[in-house]
Chain A
């Protein structure tokens, strides 16, 4: 079997036209809407996502913020943004008085390889962030 024939068997992915994609600017705008214009400082947030993803339809993601979650020193909310899906927003989680730790885990969609940004809003008005680069390999769904 020739490599060319094998490659033919790998169809184009469900790629969206570039116009339907968010951009770096849109991601930053969505992030600033969350922070009220403040630029978050890197730190205190750790986002975990595989750097290499075999199918963008269901990608495990978790975010953990370093905080005692006491009455005064706590995380108000976590938000996750992306650069290249149709919309820059992924999820926002706001914590109430009964929250345990400032942590979330979910499964997300990634339309293509891109940057993700997780931002934590602290009760003291500060904002912290972490980012991650993710490569989405072509899911060789051989269905034509």
Chain B
């Protein structure tokens, strides 16, 4: 009963001004799983990433706790090589000298989780880089654009109805605080792009291909919207 009472506030619409991580909307036992590194299955991927780091990255970057601290917090960032914004997984995947890793492959997820884990607890800190502004503006437009057979925009769910229940689960505010994260539904680790694909197919819209510029644009917008919120990688979500 006490448990049910604790859930009650989640059924009320979130106050517009108050930003909440998806963590705050989870059941207490899922929160406990995320908090406890020896029960959080996402830590298995961090461990895997640590081993890959020692083999292929440490020779140039040394101790990740020093060289990668804060890096994930400022992605997506401007990529001079391609003259376009890039997210963290993209940055690692297109790296010179590193093995070529496909989007959403276990190796890339593990490395991205390991690198992002070095920023756990740090505030999301989008770069003040004027070159990113047009892409971020396109991301904001994508966020408010209605799509799919259900003709719903991201904003309709995540701004207008955040905190309400959709079938069994609470609609979160869609802050990208924990990626890559372990989703119970996936029974595995997944990227923010996988999460966005899910939200698109959910409204019966054709999702963009992995790595598409549109995703990075949405990611840029979401990062700005969540600026200052703490990174949780590897988070757990239902």
Contacts and interface: CB of A to CB of B under 8 A. Distances in A.
Direct contact of A and B (CB under 8 A): yes
A7 B94 CA distance: 40
Interface stretch (A36-44, A55-63, A73-81, A86-94): A55-63
A50 B3 contact: yes
A63 to B, nearest CB: 15
Contacts of A52: 3-4, 7, 27
Interface string B158-197: 0011000111110000000000000011010000000001
Interface in A1-40: 1, 5-11
A144 interface: yes
A140 interface: yes
B3 A51 contact: yes
Contacts of B157: 1, 6, 9
A123 interface: no
Interface in B1-60: 3-4, 7, 26-30, 32-33, 39, 41
A139 B152 contact: no
The secondary structure that dominates the A interface is loop
Contacts of B27: 50, 52-54
B127 interface: no
Contacts of A137: 167-169
The 5 closest A-B pairs by CB, nearest first: A142-B202, A10-B167, A137-B168, A138-B168, A140-B167
Tell me the dominant secondary structure on chain B's binding face.
mixed
Given A57-B185, A142-B202, A144-B202, A1 B160 contact: yes
B24 to A, nearest CB: 14
7 contacts: A6-B166, A11-B202, A138-B167, A139-B167, A139-B169, A142-B201, A144-B201
A141 interface: yes
Contacts of B150: 5, 8-9
Q: How big is the B interface, by class?
A: 35 or more
A54 B198 contact: no
A141 B3 CA distance: 23
Given A6-B161, A7-B167, A54-B238, A142 B198 contact: yes
Contact of A141 (B4, B32, B185, B197): B185
Interface string A108-144: 0000000000000000000000000000011111111
B212 to A, nearest CB: 18
A54 B238 CA distance: 7
Given A9-B150, A50-B27, A144-B204, A55 B33 contact: no
A139 B168 contact: yes
Contact of A54 (B152, B168, B202): B168
Contacts of A6: 157, 161, 166
Contacts of A53: 27, 29
Contacts of A55: 30, 184-185, 238
A8 B33 CA distance: 30
Given A1-B161, A9-B203, A141-B198, A60 B32 contact: yes
Interface in B84-126: none
Contacts of B199: 142
B168 A140 contact: yes
A60 B29 contact: yes
A46 to B, nearest CB: 16
B160 A57 contact: no
A79 B29 CA distance: 22
A57 B33 CA distance: 13
Nearest to A136: B168
A61 to B, nearest CB: 10
